Structure 1
Amino acid sequence: MPLALVAGASGAVGRFLLPRLLDAGYEVVALSRVPRADTQPRLRWVIGDLDREVPAPSAPDAIFSLGPLDGFARWFARAALDGRPRVVALGSMSIDSKRDSSDAGERAVVERLHAAEQELAAAAVRRGSAWTVLRPTLIYGAGVDRSLTPIARFAMRWRVFPRLPGARGLRQPVHADDLAAACLAVLGHPASHSRIYALGGGERLGFDAMLERVRASLPVSCLPLPLPIAAARTMARLGWAPAAAVERLERDLVADDAAARADFGWAPRGFVVAADTWRAP
C-alpha cells in the first residue's frame, strides 16, 4: 500500500486531499501543529513543526506540501528520508502578481517564494525525486481560506457587504477541491516532473462581479456598502488602505493554465458558490 505524507493537511486544500488519497488506496500520515484524532482507517495524524521536528515516516512514496512553501523546502532539504518520494507542493501566483508591487513587504514575499521553489527543486534533484510546484490563484471553497471567506463572514455577522464598483480587474478563483484533485493527478503524469504550473479556476470575472456573486450566495440579507474605486485610491493615498492592494483592483490577476490542461488534464469548475461555501467543516 503506498504511503503519503501531507504537510499542511488541516488547511483548505488538505481537507479535500486527505479523502481523495484514502479513496485512491493510500495510507496517509497527516501533519498538524495541534493534536487531532485519527478518525479514519489508514489516516494517522502526527504533531510536528517543519521548522523544528517532524516525526515523519522514513520512506513515503509521495509527499504533499500544502502550507508555506519556504518552511517545507527547508525541511525537505534536511529531512532524513529513504527512497525517492514524489513531491507535489503548492506555491502561489503571488510570485507573479506581486513581483512589481509598490509594497516592499510584498516584494519580499515574492523573493521568499522564488527562493523556496529553487531550494525545493535543488533538494529534489539531490535525492533523485520528481517534483512539481502548483501556483494557484485565489483559493476558496473550504470555509478556512483567507481571501473570500473572511469577507463573507464579516457580511453575515454585521449584515453589511462591501461593494467596489469600478474594480474590474479580472480574477480567477479556484476551488480547493480542484487543487486537491490536481495534486493527485500529477502523480500519474511524468510530463509534470520538474515543472511549475499556474492554476486558475474555470471562470474569469471582474473583482466587483466576484464580490457580487459572494453577496448573492449569503443566507442573510446584507446592506450594500459601496466604495467606489476613486474613493479607495484616496484612502490608499491617505494611508487608510493598503496601496498595493488597491492598485491591483483594476489589474487582471489570472493564470495561463494551458500547460496544466495539456499535461495532466486540469479542468477546474466555474465560480459557483452557495451559503455552505463559507462554513468550515
Structure 2
Amino acid sequence: MSEHVADPVTVGVLGARSPVGDAVLDELAGSGRVLRFSREQREPDSRGEWRVLGDPGAGPIGTVISLMPIWALVDQLGWLAESGCRHLVALSSTSRFTKQESARSADRDLAERLRLGEDATVEWGRRAGVEVTLLRPTMIYGHERDGNVSTMRNVLRRFRVFPVVGAAAGRRQPVHVADVAWAAARLATAPAGTLGSAYTISGAEVLTYREMVDRVRATVPGPTLVLRVPAALFRGAERVAPSSRTAHTAAGMADRMASDMTFEHREAHDDFGYSPRRFDPSGP
C-alpha cells in the first residue's frame, strides 16, 4: 500500500496492546506525537508514552484510534470529549451482522453489544460534534493472539488434526492485521470531513472454511490431516465442559463452518485506497 502523508498531530491509541495495536503504532510512526492508553500505568518504552485511560492531563488529543471493544469504548466517550477529541476511529466488527441471527445466544449477545456500542458512539459523536468513523473488519489474522488462524495453527501443532463439520464450505474473507492497522491509521490522518461514517474492510481473497484450514495446514511442519466429525461432537464437548473456553469456542466455530461471512470493501478502496493482501497464514 502507498504511504500516507499527514500533518503532525497528537493521536491517542486506546487498546494499543491488542493484536492490532503494534501494527497501528508502526503505521503511525512519523505522524506526530502518539499516546498509548492502558488501564494501568506503564513505563515508557521504545514505542513511546503510556497514559492511563481517563487521565485528565493527557490532552489535548485531537484524534483517537480505539482498538478496544466498542461496547467498552462507550465508557470512555465523556473523557474523550473533555480531552479535545475531534475525530474518533473506532474498531468494531462484521460480527455485528454475521452473528445477529445465530442459533447460539453468545453469538447473538456479541452482535447486540457491537450494535449498541456502535449506535452509542455514533450518537455521542453527533451530539459532541466529533467526527466518528467506524471500521468493521472481517476475520482478523496475522498475530499470535488473533484467536482465529492462530487457534487453528495451535490445534494442528498440538494434535496434528483439525476437525471440521461436513464440507465446511462456508465462505470467508480473512483480513490481515497489518491491513486493518493501515486502514485505521489512514482514516485517522485523513482530512476532516472527507470520509464516510463506516467502512467494512475484508481481505482480497474469498475462500471456503475448508480451504482456509488447508492453507493453514501448509504452514505447520510435519503431517497433519482434516477430520470430518458430526456437529453433535462439538456440542457434546461444550455440555460436558461448560466452563471450558476452548470447548465453547470450538462449538461456535463448528456452528459457523457452513455459513458465508464475506463482505465487499469497494467503498474503502474508492474512498481511501484500501487494497488488502491475499490470504497468507504463514505469519507469526
Q: TM-score, normalised by structure 2?
A: 0.84
Offset, 1:82 = 4.3
The one-letter amino acid paired with 2:195 is S
Q: Residues 253, 56 of structure 1: CA spacing in aligned structure 2 closer, same or farther, 3 A cutoff?
A: farther
**Per-residue displacement from partner, 1:63-93 (whole Å, max 9, x unpaired)?**
0111111111221135452434211011011
**Per-residue displacement from partner, 1:181-201 (whole Å, max 9, x unpaired)?**
1012223153424x1211111
Counterpart Cα distance in 2 of 1:227 and 1:54 = 52
Aligned counterpart, 2:217: 215
Q: Is the 8 A contact 1:47 1:55 kept in 2?
A: no
Aligned counterpart, 1:261: 269
The one-letter amino acid paired with 1:209 is E
SS, match of residue 39 in structure 1? coil
Counterpart Cα distance in 2 of 1:55 and 1:203 = 44
| Residue segments in structure 1 that go unaligned for 5+ positions in a row | none
- 5 Å matches for 1:44-193? 44-48=49-53, 53-54=54-55, 57-79=58-80, 81-156=82-157, 158-164=158-164, 166-186=167-187, 187-188=189-190, 190-193=193-196
Matched, 1:3 2:10: yes
Counterpart Cα distance in 2 of 1:16 and 1:96 = 26
The one-letter amino acid paired with 2:100 is R
Give % identity. Answer: 28
CA RMSD of aligned residues (A): 2.3
Counterpart Cα distance in 2 of 1:153 and 1:32 = 28
**Of residues 197, 205, 215 in structure 1, which corresponds to 2:199?**
197
| Residue segments in structure 2 that go unaligned for 5+ positions in a row | 1-7, 239-246
Counterpart Cα distance in 2 of 1:103 and 1:216 = 31
Aligned counterpart, 1:39: 45
Counterpart Cα distance in 2 of 1:74 and 1:36 = 21
Q: Residues 149, 34 of structure 1: CA spacing in aligned structure 2 closer, same or farther, 3 A cutoff?
A: farther
Q: TM-score, normalised by structure 1?
A: 0.85
After TM superposition, where is structure 1 displaced by more than 6 Å over at least 4 residues in a row? none
Matched, 1:271 2:269: no
The one-letter amino acid paired with 2:23 is F
Counterpart Cα distance in 1 of 2:125 and 2:67 = 17
SS, match of residue 263 in structure 2? coil
Offset, 1:115 = 0.9
Offset, 1:106 = 1.7
Between Structure 1 and Structure 2, how many residues are aligned?
Answer: 264
Which deviates further from its counterpart, 59-68 or 71-80?
71-80
Offset, 1:105 = 2.3
Counterpart Cα distance in 1 of 2:279 and 2:57 = 36
The one-letter amino acid paired with 1:6 is V
The one-letter amino acid paired with 2:214 is E
Which deviates further from its counterpart, 244-253 or 11-20?
244-253
Offset, 1:39 = 2.6
Offset, 1:212 = 0.8
Q: Is the 8 A contact 1:46 1:55 kept in 2?
A: no
Counterpart Cα distance in 2 of 1:36 and 1:166 = 47
Q: Is the 8 A contact 2:179 2:277 kept in 1?
A: yes
